[in-house]
């Protein structure tokens, strides 16, 4: 007891939140994996996983165990260091944004005044993982995947930033708590519908989700940048993808859907997390539905779409916002 009291309280707070975050992250990936498979199943009029546990609820856990137990095969002639670093690189940066996401008024590990910028930066580190993994794999398909990932990320960062900027102009702060606080009366999705749409579309591309899953387009590149990965290496990419989705969805919630705001609950400053998660998972549900509905775009079309539609629209939107705010 004494040792604990001598430790700085801030450190304890950080450790506890780190543990919570990592637990949540795995839980989220398991839930998302299960939801994805179930939804995909029902969309295709089949039941999805049914065997392990009631309605296959334990399927993802079993799969996780299988993946962990598998040998991490390192193919001949790969760049060993890069090959091993890549999965970690895809996994680590997606943990950090959890530090600043305000789950509810009081549930936030750290309220950086540059929170939003922090998240965006961490989000773009993720593409490094694709690049490093694809490059290190010494496989032409992986290489294609890596190149695509980079091209895609570069062109989609721009509309994301521009659409975020429109919101920033309206509430004058980069702190996520501040942004949510500014939406007390009205959610920004109603004031900034264009920015919201742009953010969601660009977010899909940012997370490499279908129809923008070009880096791993399995019918073209077998599995893209993670073709050569097995076992835990593969599952870290997988975890990274789901967590990244969660982050994109929660940023969208914070920026546009009013974060923890919702009908009043007792202990609102803590239980706001219910509204927050509901909104996030609604967005995630949409993302899953989109994946199971559309064909994949071609990557030059994807870039065209970004530069021809998203960027001009977000610029125009930004301009209008600026003018309106000034007035």
Residues that bind other proteins (CB under 8 A): 39-47, 50, 140-141, 144, 147, 210-211, 213, 217-220, 222, 289-301, 308-309
Task: Pick the closer one to other proteins by CB: 116 or 210.
Answer: 210
d(CA 125, CA 118): 11
How far is the CA of 304 from the CAs of 136, 151, 227, in angstroms?
29, 11, 27
What minimum distance in Å lies between the beta carbon of 181 and other proteins?
A: 33
| Inter-axis angle of helices 231-256 and 80-95, nearest 10 | 30
What minimum distance in Å lies between the beta carbon of 302 and other proteins?
A: 10
The alpha carbons of the chain give a radius of gyration, in whole angstroms, of: 20
What minimum distance in Å lies between the beta carbon of 183 and other proteins?
A: 26
Given a contact cutoff of 8 angstroms between Cβ atoms, the answer to whether 21 and 95 are in contact is: yes
d(CA 268, CA 249): 22
What minimum distance in Å lies between the beta carbon of 257 and other proteins?
A: 19
State the sign of the Cα–Cα–Cα–Cα dihedral 118, 309, 250, 227. negative
Task: Pick the closer one to other proteins by CB: 42 or 66.
Answer: 42
What minimum distance in Å lies between the beta carbon of 67 and other proteins?
A: 21
Task: Pick the closer one to other proteins by CB: 26 or 294.
Answer: 294
What minimum distance in Å lies between the beta carbon of 87 and other proteins?
A: 23
Task: Pick the closer one to other proteins by CB: 28 or 142.
Answer: 142
Task: Pick the closer one to other proteins by CB: 121 or 293.
Answer: 293
Task: Pick the closer one to other proteins by CB: 105 or 241.
Answer: 241
Task: Pick the closer one to other proteins by CB: 10 or 300.
Answer: 300
d(CA 119, CA 96): 8
Given a contact cutoff of 8 angstroms between Cβ atoms, the answer to whether 134 and 147 are in contact is: yes
What minimum distance in Å lies between the beta carbon of 34 and other proteins?
A: 15
Nearest to 126 by CA among 215, 64, 6: 215
Given a contact cutoff of 8 angstroms between Cβ atoms, the answer to whether 146 and 226 are in contact is: no
d(CA 56, CA 35): 11
Task: Pick the closer one to other proteins by CB: 39 or 88.
Answer: 39
Residue-wise DSSP of 136-199:
HTT-HHHHHHHHHHHHHHHHHHHHHHHHHHHHHHHH----HHHHHHTTSSS-HHHH-HHHHHHH
Given a contact cutoff of 8 angstroms between Cβ atoms, the answer to whether 134 and 289 are in contact is: no
Q: What is the DSSP letter of 244?
A: H
How far is the CA of 212 from the CAs of 61, 130, 137, 202, in angstroms?
28, 14, 22, 9
Task: Pick the closer one to other proteins by CB: 154 or 289.
Answer: 289
């Amino acid at each position: 007891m004494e040792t604990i009291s001598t430790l700085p309280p801030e450190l304890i707070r950080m450790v506890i939140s780190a543990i919570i975050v990592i637990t949540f992250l795995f839980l989220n990936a398991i839930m998302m994996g299960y939801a994805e498979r179930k939804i995909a199943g029902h969309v295709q009029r089949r039941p999805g996983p049914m065997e392990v546990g009631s309605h296959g609820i334990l399927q993802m856990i079993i799969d996780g165990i299988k993946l962990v137990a598998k040998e991490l095969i390192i193919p001949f002639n790969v760049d060993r260091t890069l090959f091993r670093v890549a999965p970690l690189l895809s996994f680590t940066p997606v943990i950090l944004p959890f530090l600043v996401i305000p789950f509810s008024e009081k549930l936030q590990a750290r309220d950086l005044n540059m929170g939003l910028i922090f998240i965006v930066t961490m989000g773009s580190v993720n593409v490094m993982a694709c690049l490093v993994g694809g490059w290190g794999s010494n496989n032409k398909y992986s290489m294609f995947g890596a190149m695509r990932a980079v091209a895609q990320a570069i062109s989609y960062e721009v509309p994301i930033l521009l659409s975020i900027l429109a919101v920033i102009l309206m509430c004058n702060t980069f702190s996520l708590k501040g942004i949510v606080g500014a939406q007390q009366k009205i959610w920004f999705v109603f004031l900034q519908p264009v920015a919201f749409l742009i953010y969601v579309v660009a977010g899909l591309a940012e997370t490499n989700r279908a129809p923008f899953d070009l880096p791993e387009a399995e019918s073209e590149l077998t599995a893209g940048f993670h073709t050569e990965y097995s076992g835990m290496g593969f599952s870290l990419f997988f975890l990274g993808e789901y967590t990244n989705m969660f982050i994109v969805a929660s940023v969208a919630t914070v920026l546009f859907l009013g974060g923890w705001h919702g009908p009043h609950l007792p202990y609102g400053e803590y239980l706001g997390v219910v509204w927050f998660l509901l909104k996030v998972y609604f967005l995630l549900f949409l993302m899953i539905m989109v994946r199971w509905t559309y064909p994949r775009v071609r990557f030059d079309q994807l870039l065209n779409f970004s530069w021809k539609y998203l960027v001009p629209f977000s610029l125009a939107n930004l301009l209008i916002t600026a003018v309106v705010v000034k007035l």
